[in-house]
Amino acid sequence: ANTARSNLIANSTVLNGGIGCNGSSNNVFSGLSVASPINLEQLCDNNTFSGINVTAENVYGAFTASASKNNTLILSKLTNTKTAASGIYLANSNLSLFRNNTIIAPIAVSLTALSRFNLFYWNNMSATTTWVSNLGDNNWFNTSVNGFAQGNIYPNASAYNIVDVDGDGFAESGPHIPFSLATLGATLWPSSKGADYGPYAPENIGCQNLSVAGTVYNLTHDAISTSGTCFIAAASNITLNCNGHAIRGVNASGSYGFYANSSISNATIKNCIISNFTYGIYFNSAHNGIIENNTVSTTYASAYAIYLYNGADSSYASSGYGIYLSSGANSNNLTSNIAYSAQSHSLVISSSHLNNITGNAITSGSTASDTGALYLASSDSNYIANNNATISVGMGAIYALSSDYNVLTNNVGTSLGAGYGIYIYTSSDSNILQNNRGTSATSGSGISLFTNTNNTLTNNTGISTSGGFGIRLAGATYSSLFNNTGSSRTSDGIYLISSNSSTLSQNNGSSDSSYGIFVLGSSNNTLSSDIANSNRSAALHLANSTNNTFTGISAYATDNTTVYLLNSTSNSFFHMAIEPVSAQKGIYLAGSANNYFYNVSNAYTYNSSSVQKFYSDSAQNISSDLNIGWWPLQGANGISATGQINTSWYNRTNGRNYDWSISELLAYWYAPTPAEMPIYFVPPTAGDNATTTNTTAFVNITLNSTDIANFTWGWNSSNYSIYDSGLVLMLNLDLVGVLNESGASTHAHDVSLGANHGTCIGMGASCSWKPDGKYASTILFDGTNDYINVSTSGSLEPSQISFGAWVRSSGGGSNASGNYVLSYGRQAGAQETSYGIKYSPLTGLFSCIASIKDSNYTASSTTATPDGPWSHIMCTYDGLNLRLYLNGVNEDTTNKDGTINYSISDNALHIGDLGADGKADSFEGDIDEVRIYGRALTYPQILQQYYSNLYRPALSQWQFYTQQPMVVKPYDYFGYAKDIEGRYNQTEVRTITRSS
């Protein structure tokens, strides 16, 4: 074409020769498929090419233009397979537009020196060698949309450090913006002329509103905000994953790295490195968010690295806070973050509840006395686990103030200075601390409770490496400490001051320089099965303390005194082992009277030159005839001990001197009548004369004794014997280490007087313990070959009987028609058992079975029990009737007089199967709290079995727990106990009234 103009060439296929133009203008080419190049020669101007598919092998290009201008190529595909050739080749051609094209060639675009003012954008530059070779001036490779550059699409452009700021898919910022010789190099962009200021990289997001609900936004490069806010969560259920990249600000006032407001829920930000904003991450009344594995820092004064406000990670703040949850920031998850503050709290939970704070590294460089690395203030019911908190000095690495019902587990709190490792401060009540480690380097304590109540510490370790206490209780009441270790290099291992009515069991207090356990100005505490050890001072020291009870304590001292009482009265010591390794005194009483020692072993080698076995300057201290070792006279009227074997003591005024040189009347008195057993109410028991609208009364009773003979529960003017000689099997299955129940033992301990202990069979090296029993732990039975074997015993063969357990089925078992929860005796061939409980996973029904006059009789439940919940099943036989009780209700009775047949060939007790005739009938699920009584319990007694539980968490401690239903009326209640040594006691009688 030479002078041809304004023609339309559309929807055609050109097989050979391509399209040529010479001096022809204003033509429209549309929808063509061309097998050779398009070649525009002299003065081919103002032509439009749209929807063209060109496949060529041409030394220049698939689309070439020479001395032509004002042409447009859009929505087309150009392919050139010639080596070192171009997709678009312009020679001396100007003012043309190339948009929305796909260009496949070794060189996507090539422009000679005299090609100018051409515009390229939204093209897919699929080049294999060079993206753009531009020798001309004033050629452009992007356009502007709403003030932001939009350029072309390049292979693997997202691998470059470019960032899309406005969310349009085109990058406008980053170190590699614009694409040019300077940023890409001479191969991809060989000329210094021209640049693309908006290459397409939609995945390379930058600071913007995250506005598409349900979208995961991924950072592939750092995001930079020169002022203001970087990311705003503008929709719910969004996730910003930085993938380890940074979000950086410039410390502008009121700036936010990531912001979510009250209309947003389920926003997640993770794997980010955020720095230099007023608020690194800010959740303003946003709910159910997740902040995970971020590093957030700021050097802006009074700034917050992470701030959760009113509902709503490595954190660093050189002046402000690291992570801050405030004013109702509830139900958030903070996981695997690193929180740091140079001068204040690092992770703050203030007036915020139900948060999960797990796996964070929290560090504060603060030296201020009121700061904590992890700080809880007026915050309740949070779960804080597996965190590592460190503070330079401050108040505590983990510090709680006025915060209740929190669970702290498997945390490490370390104070490098005078602060506390873990500090539960004023009015922080009913918290649970388990498996934590608190360490203080100087004068602070490893773990400390201060002026609070009803906190529970289990399996924690408190360490002071210098002048502080291992574990300290100061003004703490009704605390419970089980199996903790407190150690100090220069002060006391475990220290109680002005702390009352607390229970300490199986703890270990040790000190290199001071007391192992020190009780100062404290009363009504119970310590049992604890170990006190000191290398330089008294192992166990009481000062100005009254009415405390010590049972089963082991005291070891290598210097000074083993047990030292100063101005302390009316304390009781039972079943103690005093081991003065090389100390000067075994037991030393100064200004201390009316203390009682019962069955205490003062194991001390006599040394007539200097060592005193029992030193006292006080009268009226009482000992018993069960004490062994070196003791005062065991005489009722204080007769001289002359001639008495194995007695020596030192008395400043009377009695025998340490070298036996004085033989005067003694000031020590022996009382043959046992002292009262400690028994008392503990929280959550209401105070006396309480009034409530609750339909249930919760009562807890603690009693301290190694071996009890009776426990009676009194409720609503009726007495119920829970523990007595008629109880012949009581398997709590609570994994109590001192009862030889452990992860390395197959022993199941019977705490009844029958001592019918069990052995776990088929479960491996230990019983299959689970922590989620009906009460404390339980044992899982696999439905194949698991059971507990209890050897035959006459105590398990009474003429009248009650037997039962708490049961939770998993729905399986070896016999779909019925599996045994419990069976005593089994006979080959007949599948007969003396008595037992059977459960059918098909029907969800229980059966009580008894062999009476050589035949099996059953009583069956009528209410199906689903898999999952616990059910209480109890069977009784009184010689006339076999009864089944399900959850306290008598659901079936079978009348049959006679006696139970105990002459079955194999008469061991199995918990969890029958095991007869090769058929295990094995139960699948959990069994807990197995009971057998040698009498038929009455219906009211069965109800109390359903409402209540007695268990033994320590060697010298028992706990009774009950939930009693109430109607509108007053109820009186109490507990009574007696031990096998004849000691007995009763709580006060209390009253509770349901008012409406």
What's the CATH code of the domain at 878?
2.60.120.200
Contact 603, 577 (CB under 8 A): yes
* Kind plus residue range of the DSSP H or E element containing 182: helix 181-184
DSSP lists the bridge partners of residue 401 as 377
Cα separation, 19 vs 219, in Å, equals: 45
Mean pLDDT confidence for 309-328 = 59
Q: Residue 774 is encoded by which pair of tokens? A: 């009906």
Q: Mean pLDDT over residues 966-986, rounded?
A: 90
Residues with Cβ within 8 Å of residue 159, at least 6 apart in sequence: none
Q: Which amino acid is located at 578 in the chain?
A: I
Q: Within a domain: residue 184?
A: no
Shared domain check, 320 and 308: yes
What mean pLDDT is reported for the chain? 86
Q: What is the spatial distance between Cα 776 and Cα 804, in angstroms, rounded to a whole number?
A: 18
Place of tokens 């019911």: 381
Question: What residues make up the domain containing 67?
Answer: 8-140
Q: Is the pLDDT of residue 839 over 50?
A: yes
Point out which residues pair with 857 in neighbouring strands. 850
* β-pairing verdict for 970-979 and 990-994: antiparallel
Helix or strand or coil: residue 285? coil
Q: How far is CA 978 from the centre of its chain?
A: 39
Q: What is the 3-state secondary structure (H, E, C) of 734-778?
A: CCCHHHCCCCCCCEECECCCCCCCEEEECCCCCCCEECCCCCCCE
- Residue found by looking up tokens 């969310």 in the block: 167
The helix or strand, by DSSP H or E, that contains position 114, with its residue range, turns out to be none
Binned at pLDDT 50, 70 and 90, residue 674 comes out as low
Give the whole-angstrom CA distance, residue 7 versus residue 28.
6
Mean pLDDT of 245-271: 89
Q: Where does a domain end: 92, 125, 140?
A: 140
**Which CATH number covers residue 691?**
2.60.40.10
> What span, in angstroms and rounded, lies between the C-alpha atoms of 287 and 266?
6
- Coil, helix or strand at residue 31: coil
On the question of pLDDT at 148 being above 60, the answer is: yes
* Inside any domain, residue 185: no
How many angstroms separate the CA atoms of 820 and 923, rounded?
6
For the residues of 54-110, what is the DSSP string, one character each?
A: EEE--SSEEEEEES-BS-EEES-EEEE-STT-EEEEEES-BS-EEES-EEEEEEEEE
Residue 750 and residue 881 in one domain: yes
CA distance 767 to 822: 17
Q: Within this chain, do residues 529 and 614 fall inside the same structural domain, yes or no?
A: yes
The C-alpha atoms of residue 394 and residue 415 are separated, in whole angstroms, by: 8
Count CB-CB contacts under 10 A for residue 185.
10
Mean pLDDT score, 298-318: 62
**Predicted pLDDT of residue 656:** 41
The pLDDT score that the predictor gives to residue 200 is 95
Is residue 360 domain-shared with residue 250, that is, in the same domain? yes
Looking at residue 310, its pLDDT comes to 59
The token pair that represents 540 in the structure block:
């166990």
Are 863 and 871 in contact by the 8 Å Cβ rule? The answer is: no
* pLDDT recorded at residue 299: 73
- 684 is a domain residue: yes
Check: CB of residue 139 under 8 Å from CB of residue 161: no
501 CB-contact burial (10 Å; exposed 0-12 / middle 13-18 / buried 19+): buried
Give SS3 for 358.
Answer: strand
Q: Percent helix, strand and coil across the chain, each rounded to 5?
A: 0, 45, 50
Rounded to whole angstroms, the Cα distance separating 614 from 30 reads 114
Nearest to 736 by CA among 579, 560, 953: 953
Secondary structure of residue 118 in the 3-state scheme: coil
Residue 633 is predicted with a pLDDT of 40
Say yes or no to pLDDT of 607 above 70: no
**Shared domain check, 574 and 431:** yes
Same-domain pairing of 364 and 513: yes
| pLDDT digits 0-9 by tens, 855-890 | 889 999 999 998 889 999 999 999 999 999 999 999
Neighbours of 810 (CB within 10 A): 16
User: For residue range 490-499, what is the model confidence (pLDDT) as tens digits?
Assistant: 999 999 999 9
Are 902 and 971 in a shared domain?
no
Tell me, yes or no, whether 391 lies in a domain: yes
Confidence grade of residue 584 (pLDDT, cut at 50, 70, 90): low
- The conformation of residue 265, written as its DSSP 8-state character, comes to B
For residue 364, is it within any domain? yes
Tell me which of 651, 670, 689 is where a domain ends: 670
Instruction: List, for residues 348-397, the tens digit of each pLDDT value.
Output: 899 988 888 999 988 887 777 788 889 999 999 999 999 999 998 888 99
What tens digit of pLDDT does each residue of 779-817 get?
999 998 899 999 999 999 999 999 999 999 998 877 877
Q: Which of 475-479, 575-579, 659-663, 681-685 has the lowest mean pLDDT?
A: 659-663
- The helix (H) or strand (E) run that includes residue 976 is strand 970-979
- Least confident window among 15-29, 201-215, 293-307: 293-307
What separation in angstroms does the CA of 104 have from each of 54, 71, 826, 996? Answer: 10, 20, 84, 84
- Is residue 601 in a domain? yes
Token representation of residue 13: 């296929």
Residues 548, 553, 555, CA angle at the centre, nearest 5°? 110
Confidence (pLDDT) at 851: 92
Where among 140, 168, 196 does a domain terminate? Answer: 140
Query: What amino acid is encoded at 985 in this protein?
Result: N
- Paired tokens of 658: 């340490």
Q: Which residue has the higher pLDDT, 2 or 183?
A: 183
At which residue do the structure tokens 């083993």 appear? 562
* Residue 713 to residue 958: CA distance in whole angstroms: 13
**pLDDT confidence tier of residue 634, bands split at 50, 70 and 90:** very low
- C-alpha count within 13 angstroms, C-beta hemisphere, residue 447: 28
- Closest-CA residue to 100 (of 73, 119, 82): 73
Q: What is the DSSP string of 391-406?
A: ESSSSEEEEEES--S-
Q: Which residues pair with 422 in a beta bridge?
A: 398, 447
Regarding predicted confidence, which is higher, 344 or 408?
408
DSSP 137: S
Q: CA 858, CA 122: separation in Å to the nearest integer? A: 84
According to DSSP, the β-strands at 347-350 and 304-309 are unpaired
- The CA dihedral of 247, 248, 251, 255, to the nearest 10 degrees, is -30
- Return the DSSP state at 159: G
**Both 123 and 31 in a single domain?**
yes
Ramachandran sector of residue 92 (left: φ over 0; alpha: ψ -120 to 50; beta: rest): left
* Nearest alpha carbon to residue 536 among 507, 560, 505, 508: 560
What pLDDT does 580 receive? 60
- Which of the listed ranges 279-283, 676-680, 712-716, 907-911 does the model predict with the highest average pLDDT? 712-716
Q: Is residue 941 part of a domain?
A: no
Phi-psi region of 6 (alpha: psi -120 to 50; beta: other; left: phi over 0): left
Residue 433, beta-bridge partner list: 408, 457
Tell whether 853 and 888 lie within a shared domain: yes
Q: Could you tell me how far CA 128 lies from the centroid of its own chain? A: 54
325: which 2 tokens?
């949850």
Closest CA to 728 of 941, 930, 980, 978: 930
d(C-alpha 866, C-alpha 546), whole Å: 52
Residue 230 shares a structural domain with residue 273: yes
Please enumerate in sequence order all residues whose Cβ is within 8 A of that of 84, keeping only pairs 6 or more positions apart, or say none.
106, 107, 129
Q: What sign does the CA torsion over 166, 167, 172, 175 have?
A: positive
Q: Return phi, psi of residue 480, to 5°.
A: -125, 120
Q: How confident is the model at residue 828 (pLDDT cuts 50, 70, 90)?
A: low
More confident position, 297 or 607: 297
> What is the reported pLDDT for 875?
98
Q: Is residue 818 assigned to a domain?
A: yes
Cis preceding-peptide flag for 37 (omega within 30 of 0)? no
Q: How far is CA 309 from CA 273, 292, 330, 483, 789, in A?
A: 21, 17, 9, 38, 57
pLDDT at 743 over 60: yes
Do the Cβ atoms of 429 and 404 come closer than 8 Å?
yes
The answer to whether residues 397 and 533 belong to one domain is yes
Name the helix (H) or strand (E) containing 390.
strand 388-391
Q: Count the domains in the chain.
A: 4
Same domain, 662 and 684: no
Q: pLDDT tens for residues 588-597?
A: 888 887 787 7
**379 SS3 class:** coil
